[in-house]
């Protein structure tokens, strides 16, 4: 899969990346944290970080012998 094809699997909006701290970047929501006090934070990542995490998932799947499916960050 090309990087463009992987990125096309996600929805993008302007925001900040939790991973590399890029601000005003195109990001996609990949997780949500609820603090003990009930505050809800959204974790979004930029395209470069999404590709990095997809690459990690692909390596992990290969090591474990699982099929790798792109586009599933935050959809567990
Ligand atoms: Zn980033």
Task: For residue 43, give both structure tokens.
Answer: 């974790």
CA dist., res. 61 & res. 54, Å (int): 10
From the CA of 51, how far away is ligand 1's center (Å)? Answer: 9
At 74, is the pLDDT very low, low, confident or very high (cuts 50, 70, 90)? Answer: confident
From the CA of 6, how far away is ligand 1's center (Å)? Answer: 15
Average pLDDT over residues 20-24: 96
From the CA of 20, how far away is ligand 1's center (Å)? Answer: 4
Q: At residue 76, does pLDDT exceed 70? A: no
**Predicted TM-score of the model (pTM):** 0.87
**Residue 41 backbone phi and psi in degrees, to 5:** -115, 135
From the CA of 16, how far away is ligand 1's center (Å)? Answer: 8
Q: pLDDT tens for residues 30-72?
A: 999 899 999 998 899 999 999 999 999 999 999 999 999 999 9
Helix (H) / strand (E) containing 53: helix 47-64
Task: Give the DSSP per-residue string, 63-75.
Answer: HHTPPP-TT-TT-
């Amino acid at each position: 899969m090309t990087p463009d094809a992987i990125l096309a699997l996600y929805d993008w909006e302007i925001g900040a990346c939790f991973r590399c701290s890029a601000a005003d970047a195109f990001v996609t929501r990949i997780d949500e944290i609820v603090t003990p006090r009930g505050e809800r934070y959204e974790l979004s990542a930029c395209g470069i970080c999404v590709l990095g995490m997809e690459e990690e998932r692909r390596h992990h799947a290969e090591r474990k012998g699982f099929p790798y499916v792109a586009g599933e960050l935050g959809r567990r």
